[in-house]
Structure 1
């Protein structure tokens, strides 16, 4: 199936400039790529990411952004990787061939990591708004950045929280064998064991599975206090339903892939109040809450739906990239990449700056539970 390019429409003034023979040399068009799963089980999260990029493009064009003394019109070239590594590298090459000035994406670690080599070879800066596997920024690619905490921070925090706050002693771990799911589950298990917990069962599934009765029945026999799932909400929701059917009362914990506003719909009656504890690989303390709340309200008005999870990070990633272009006075990747590496940008998700590997400095984590089907804040931590 061929991917369709979605282009954000050019401003009316540019359309008129092409319709008539007037001079257009003072007007620069800058195309930025966006990649996320727009089809498949993770499409609701991928579309949320795309929406965040759309809002950034629209905001930049509305205020008449200048780069190097020229007014710029931004265009978004949005591609679908369907959470598939092979498709991810194909669309990465497509964006390189289209000579985009930068890429926001990909969403999943499993597509972000292989695509990052293609962008690096082409010298195109890439900022992921949501990929958390540590390997992404450990490859030595100076074009790779992320605006969220990595799995070491995420899994480590959840492991400690499971033992020290939830008082879990016996823990079962399930992962979906993706780069993200396996990575966050391993970091969680390592941290939980270090904090004094016991891993009584380790099971595996896939990111497309729907039947978990065999692995859950095996886990039930171990009588765990808590089950940790490394994977996305599209799998975690049905898993919660089947836990309920099997009478498993254990707490259910997961990382950012699980921690969405859609989990309640996917889990249905399987989502009990206070049963799930999950972490978003980002977040702002109370001092920054007003800006994030304003973004969420604008998103609701623009798309007639709530933020699913990572739209604000996609928005900030694109805005930080453009801020680097403005500092360099150029949208040429070779010229603005050094500015991106040392950027200090104040975003709706908090301050954005990167360490030498491209990881966000002082990345926050937000822990949530669910009450009456609504994702409810527990705490923001580092």
Structure 2
């Protein structure tokens, strides 16, 4: 009798531990970004922001649906390539992820978004081409500024603050670069800037001599480039070699220390760019995030680390509000969310764009972009 009673007591003592083990639910979160190739620096930056958010959430012991949640990131390299991005999307769908933070590139996001939406998986992307959210996909959200905001605000700043009268425009023909250049051109013309010409390159190019030689003869006050740092840096080197003295303007694709690393001493204080979000160094939460990121990775947070961090936090909050990790349950909570993050406040309009997305204008100093003003 005593032995039976003791056995029952041992089993009862162990029972809560068994229950606790059963009540921990692993929730897979997908990441899609360029982890190899020319844009790997941006991909690693974004990856770091997401990893920090997941570690933070796991340390908080979030409970959803009566179960303790453990988030696990599934990090995938889409190589900034649309075809690879669609393959990554299908892989993450097959893995059973409950959300995807990314992709980074508009050219990857537009085709991949259909795969995620068809599978009913929520996607929070920083991709800026307006087409991303104009497709009418129920599960697609943009967690950063759009091209209309990034390109338009750069044009306004150029007209009103830099007093630019003439500009030459170059874009890399990606969905991102083309969309950004189109928005810049539209707002520039509306504000009295004369567009002297539109030239095109690609996101693999390294030689811009012919384009820049043609532009030099037109003597523009500024050149606007719709594209990324791996081309922007070398382009600036070649501008210096050719004696092109125009200001160099761009969007978030060039708004990173990588421009300085690739462009060297050609990256002067005549290089300006825009990035979605408020000035991090003016916000207590932004300063804390930047310090934590530097401490963890021994490198500064670049363009969208904070947005990937916030994107994960916003999705987790929607899950908590809906008391479910299932996208079809929490997507409506995401549509109604009011969340204050590191990079700004998150509320979505009918297209799933941010209702308010401040844009910060940066100027390069010592090869590194420094925030000038929110515009």
TM range (shorter): over 0.9
Q: Among 114, 130, 149, which residue is 1:134 paired with?
A: 130
Deviation at residue 166 of structure 1 after TM alignment: 1.0
Deviation at residue 284 of structure 1 after TM alignment: 4.2
Instruction: State how many pairs are aligned.
Output: 360
CA distance in 2, matches of 1:351, 1:153: 16
Give the equivalent residue in structure 2 for 1:53: 50
Give the equivalent residue in structure 1 for 2:355: 361
Give the equivalent residue in structure 2 for 1:218: 214
**Structure 1 residue ranges without an equivalent (≥5):** 1-19
Is 1:245–2:247 an aligned residue pair?
no
Is 1:89–2:83 an aligned residue pair?
no
| TM-score normalized with structure 1 length | 0.92
Is 1:316–2:310 an aligned residue pair?
yes
Deviation at residue 237 of structure 1 after TM alignment: 0.5
Give the equivalent residue in structure 1 for 2:146: 150
SS of the counterpart of 1:24? helix
Give the equivalent residue in structure 1 for 2:230: 234
Deviation at residue 160 of structure 1 after TM alignment: 1.7
**More helix by percentage:** 2
Q: Among 327, 343, 361, which residue is 1:333 paired with?
A: 327
Give the equivalent residue in structure 1 for 2:182: 186
Q: Among 184, 199, 206, which residue is 1:203 paired with?
A: 199
**Structure 2 residue ranges without an equivalent (≥5):** 1-16
**Do the aligned partners of residues 328 and 220 (structure 1) sit closer, same or farther apart at CA in structure 2, a change above 3 Å counting?**
same
Give the equivalent residue in structure 2 for 1:275: 270
Deviation at residue 349 of structure 1 after TM alignment: 1.1
Deviation at residue 264 of structure 1 after TM alignment: 1.1
**CA-to-partner distance for each residue in 1:54-105, whole Å, 9 max, x for gaps?**
0011111112111122211110001110000000000001111111001001
CA distance in 2, matches of 1:107, 1:165: 30
Which aligned segments of 4 or more residues in structure 1 are displaced greater than 4 angstroms?
20-23
Task: Note the aligned Cα RMSD (angstroms).
Answer: 1.6
| TM-score normalized with structure 2 length | 0.93
CA distance in 1, matches of 2:20, 2:353: 42
Deviation at residue 23 of structure 1 after TM alignment: 6.6
Deviation at residue 21 of structure 1 after TM alignment: 8.1
Give the equivalent residue in structure 2 for 1:31: 28
CA distance in 1, matches of 2:263, 2:42: 16
Deviation at residue 22 of structure 1 after TM alignment: 8.0
Bigger-Rg structure (1/2): 2
SS of the counterpart of 2:80? coil
